[in-house]
Amino acid sequence: MSHPSSMVQPPLRMSSLLPDWSSLPKELLECIGKRLASGHDAASFRSACSPWRAAVPFAAFEPLLLLPFDPDSDTVTFYRVSEEKAFSLTLPDARGKVPCGTSRGWLALMDEAAAMTLLNLFTGARVELPPADERIAAAASRERVSRVRGRWVLRSGDAVKLEHMRGVFFHEIVLSAPPDDDAGGGECVAMAVLASSTEVAFCRVGVDGAWTLLDTKLELSVASIVHCQGKFLAIDVVGEISIFSSNSAGANPTATPLPSLSPPGGLCHRSYLDSDGELHLVGAMVSTFHETRKFTYSSMLYKCDLLDRVPEWSRVKDVGDLTLFVSKSFSESFSGTSVSKYKKNIIYFSEPLYGDPYDFAHRLEIVDIAAGTSKVKPLHEKMKGSEAVGWIRPNLWKRGGISKHDEENSQKEVEPNVTDQPEPAGEVKASA
């Protein structure tokens, strides 16, 4: 009879009991990667193994609040909600310019000559857009302006000052993709909300030398633009929407109104964003008490699927583990999987919907989506007496891939505080 010890099976190796996560389909890994909203999660994901790292060749970093900056200075200040701290970057390229929106992690800037620049605040990369010309000026402004010796001049003979440029030319720039994303497989298209117009301006970044005007077929001036499901949507001041066709084969996009997407009655302060491929609408339902001249409001969230035969808004009270970041001044709003110190099923507004213009502090409005209630939180002394520019999600993508520095950091550190050490074009200054 065999000795009992000879019948003992060798212990199973722990690795044989665990699933081989590295063999997950690439498409599934990429889908998961797109839902990573913080540098902590992105670095952890990329450090797991080579297939996971290859599926997320970029870092999705924690959203930062871009505070208003002085065009006479080269300092730009951000607020990091998770750490309750502000920090500043020294960026000479921002001097002498006004912001015209944030999109895909890039800041659009305009100077007094109406020349447009896209600036990556964290890598220093720059991409030039076509400047405004007489056609744009005529379409964008109700006032007649002309170009005299390199400056734009009003009919009165006064030069258009820098602080008034957005009210005359480009109000906001929205991108279809990062302008230097070689791995994206498609071109970057820029679409501009003009100062006061039912037309929008369109260009293929790095391809077109001038803007093309497009008719939105809306009756009132365009207030915002959103890119969703691979297409641009133009939204007018009362919430009517037109959707543009894809610019396939180099053809200019054409607009088709979507009358079924008129906003719910009584909804004010509307903001739009793409979340998981669906168009979302955030707004406030206001109740007024005439006797006391006071009012209350409840924030509400709606969504629609643009692929439906007749898209319609439906009320949303639960977005699962998502957090929504909504900019009040610009269209750039987005969602991401909730991470440490950010609550799920919550909306973070860059400024209170009904803030006090004489308030001396920047404040966040934090909305509970399920209840519709909100609270306001002070975060920083008010700068330049104006509202925050809006949310920006840092994009450290560089042409051809992540830089060697970022690649090494993402593999070494499971939870790096990436916004403490970005790759700025200049000096970083921290402040409490």
68: nearest Cα among 309, 364, 383, 348: 383
Look at the alpha carbons of 397, 251, 198, 235 in this order and tell me if their dihedral is positive or negative.
negative
- On whether the CB atoms of residues 50 and 366 are closer than 8 A, the answer is no
Render each residue's pLDDT in the chain as its tens digit; 432 residues. Answer: 445 544 555 554 544 566 777 788 888 887 887 676 555 566 567 667 778 777 765 444 678 999 998 999 999 999 988 888 888 999 999 999 999 999 999 999 999 999 999 999 888 899 999 999 999 999 998 888 989 888 899 988 899 999 999 999 999 999 999 998 654 446 899 999 999 999 999 999 999 999 999 999 999 999 999 999 999 999 999 999 999 997 666 788 999 999 999 999 889 989 999 998 899 999 999 988 877 778 888 999 999 999 899 999 999 999 998 899 999 888 888 887 765 577 889 999 998 888 777 777 888 999 999 998 999 988 877 766 566 789 998 876 444 333 333 433 333 332 323 333 333 333 334 444
- Number of H helices and E strands in the chain, helices first, is 7, 28
- On whether the CB atoms of residues 136 and 211 are closer than 8 A, the answer is yes
* Main-chain dihedrals φ then ψ at residue 149, nearest 5 degrees: 50, 50
What kind and span of H or E run contains 271? Answer: strand 267-275
Distance (Å, rounded) from C-alpha 96 to C-alpha 162?
Answer: 8
Question: Which three-class secondary structure state does DSSP give residue 221?
Answer: coil
pTM: 0.78
Q: What are the CA-CA distances from residue 379 to residues 161, 365, 420 (Å)? A: 31, 11, 18
Give the ranges where 24-67 is alpha helix by DSSP (H). Answer: 26-33, 39-46, 50-55
Q: What type of residue sits at position 89?
A: L
Burial class of residue 384 in the structure, from the number of CB atoms within 10 Å of its CB (0-12 exposed, 13-18 middle, 19+ buried): exposed
Which residue carries 């994206």 as its tokens? 184
Packing angle between helix 404-412 and helix 39-46, nearest 10 degrees? Answer: 80
CA 210 to chain centre: 24
Residues 6+ away with beta carbon under 8 Å from 158: none
- On whether the CB atoms of residues 333 and 367 are closer than 8 A, the answer is no
Which residue carries 């969504």 as its tokens? 303
- On whether the CB atoms of residues 277 and 334 are closer than 8 A, the answer is no
Question: Which three-class secondary structure state does DSSP give residue 209?
Answer: coil
